[in-house]
């Protein structure tokens, strides 16, 4: 009887051991599943982190692009406001490549005007030819309105060839009055040779500031200065 009891106990132990083995196998499987899920979660976390960084970079790029776009819009608005000031805006002169500048290329700005100083050694031009050249550039020969502008112009010209040569300005005599190309009458009278009977005017370098305009004939060939209103943004 004792032996049978022991056998019974042994069988029960075997069954419990087998049960434990099964539970251990189940636990191992669950552990594997859990580890797989953890790995998946880690992969998802890495992917989400990478996507977050990607979107952060995209957001920064969009912010930069938006700032650039806002600056471009502001520039276009400023351009539009400046262009409105012109009756016939010379876009080909100020915006040759679609980007507008205060002054055309190779022109010099002084206050609200731009100046083109023709400094080539040759060919020089008559007063009429000079004015025609300026008009092709949507401008006119320079109109000197005050001493400050006279000082600026005088500082930009140079001596060339001889004392008789200078730069044509937009001043000529009409009905015994000296009239600028904008049809205003001259009030400065910075003449070097006031007694001359010639009807057109040049400004010369080798003379005092307020005595540097010389009367000259139209056919005499000189350098010249063009002026156009600046595109103020």
For the chain, the average pLDDT equals 87
Residue scoring higher pLDDT (29 or 75)? 29
- Choice among 34-38, 111-115, 218-222 with the minimum mean pLDDT: 34-38
Give, rounded to a whole angstrom, the gap between the first and last alpha carbons of the chain.
116
CA atoms within 13 A on the CB side of 163: 5
Phi, psi angles (nearest 5°) of residue 102:
-60, -40
Residues 6 or more apart in contact with residue 92 via CB below 8 angstroms: 138
CA atoms within 13 A on the CB side of 113: 18
pTM for the structure as a whole: 0.63
Q: Are residues 104 and 209 in the same domain?
A: yes
The confidence band for 47, taking pLDDT boundaries of 50, 70 and 90, is confident
Q: Are residues 64 and 110 in the same domain?
A: no
Q: Assess whether pLDDT exceeds 60 at residue 56.
A: yes
Residue 60 domain-assigned? yes
140 strand-pairing partners: 227
Residue 22 domain-assigned? yes
Residue 91 domain-assigned? no
Residue scoring higher pLDDT (53 or 144)? 144
Distance CA(190)–CA(129), nearest Å, equals 24
Decide which of 30, 51, 84 is a domain's last residue: 84
- Reported as a single tens digit per residue, the pLDDT across 78-121 is 655 555 455 566 767 777 776 778 899 899 999 999 999 999 88
Question: What secondary structure letter does DSSP report for 218?
Answer: T
Distance CA(218)–CA(224), nearest Å, equals 12
Q: What is the pLDDT of residue 152?
A: 97
Decide which of 84, 119, 141 is a domain's last residue: 84
Residue scoring higher pLDDT (76 or 199)? 199
Q: Are residues 69 and 103 in the same domain?
A: no
Residue 62 domain-assigned? yes
Phi, psi angles (nearest 5°) of residue 97:
-120, 25
Peptide bond into 123 cis (omega under 30): yes
DSSP letters spanning 160-203: -S-TT--EEEEEEEETTEEEETTSPBP----BS-TT----EEEE
Question: What secondary structure letter does DSSP report for 210?
Answer: G
Q: What is the pLDDT of residue 10?
A: 77
Expressed as residue numbers, the domain containing 208 is 99-229
Q: What is the rounded average pLDDT of the residues 2-14?
A: 76
* CATH code, 168: 3.10.100.10
SS3 breakdown of the chain: % helix, strand, coil, rounded to 5? 45, 20, 35
Q: What is the pLDDT of residue 75?
A: 63
118 strand-pairing partners: 224
Domain tally for the chain? 2
Q: Which two tokens stand for residue 92?
A: 């080909």
């Amino acid at each position: 009887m004792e032996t049978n009891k022991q056998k019974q106990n042994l069988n029960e132990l075997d069954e419990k051991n087998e049960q434990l083995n099964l539970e251990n196998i189940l636990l191992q499987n669950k552990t594997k599943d859990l580890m797989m899920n953890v790995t998946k979660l880690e992969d998802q976390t890495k992917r989400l982190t990478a996507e977050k960084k990607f979107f952060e970079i995209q957001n920064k790029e969009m912010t930069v692009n938006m700032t650039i776009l806002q600056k471009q819009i502001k520039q276009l608005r400023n351009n539009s406001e400046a262009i409105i000031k012109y009756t016939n805006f010379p876009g080909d002169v100020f915006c040759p490549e679609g980007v507008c500048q205060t002054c055309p290329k190779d022109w010099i700005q002084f206050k609200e005007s731009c100046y083109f100083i023709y400094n080539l050694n040759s060919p020089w031009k008559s007063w009429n030819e000079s004015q025609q050249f300026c008009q092709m550039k949507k401008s006119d020969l320079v109109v000197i309105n005050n001493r400050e502008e006279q000082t600026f112009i005088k500082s930009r010209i140079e001596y060339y060839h001889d004392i008789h040569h200078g730069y044509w300005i937009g001043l000529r005599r009409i009905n015994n009055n000296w009239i600028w190309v904008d049809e205003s009458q001259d009030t400065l009278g910075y003449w070097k040779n006031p007694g001359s009977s010639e009807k057109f005017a040049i400004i010369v370098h080798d003379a005092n500031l307020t005595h540097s305009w010389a009367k000259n004939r139209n056919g005499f060939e000189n350098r010249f200065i063009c002026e156009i209103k600046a595109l103020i943004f």
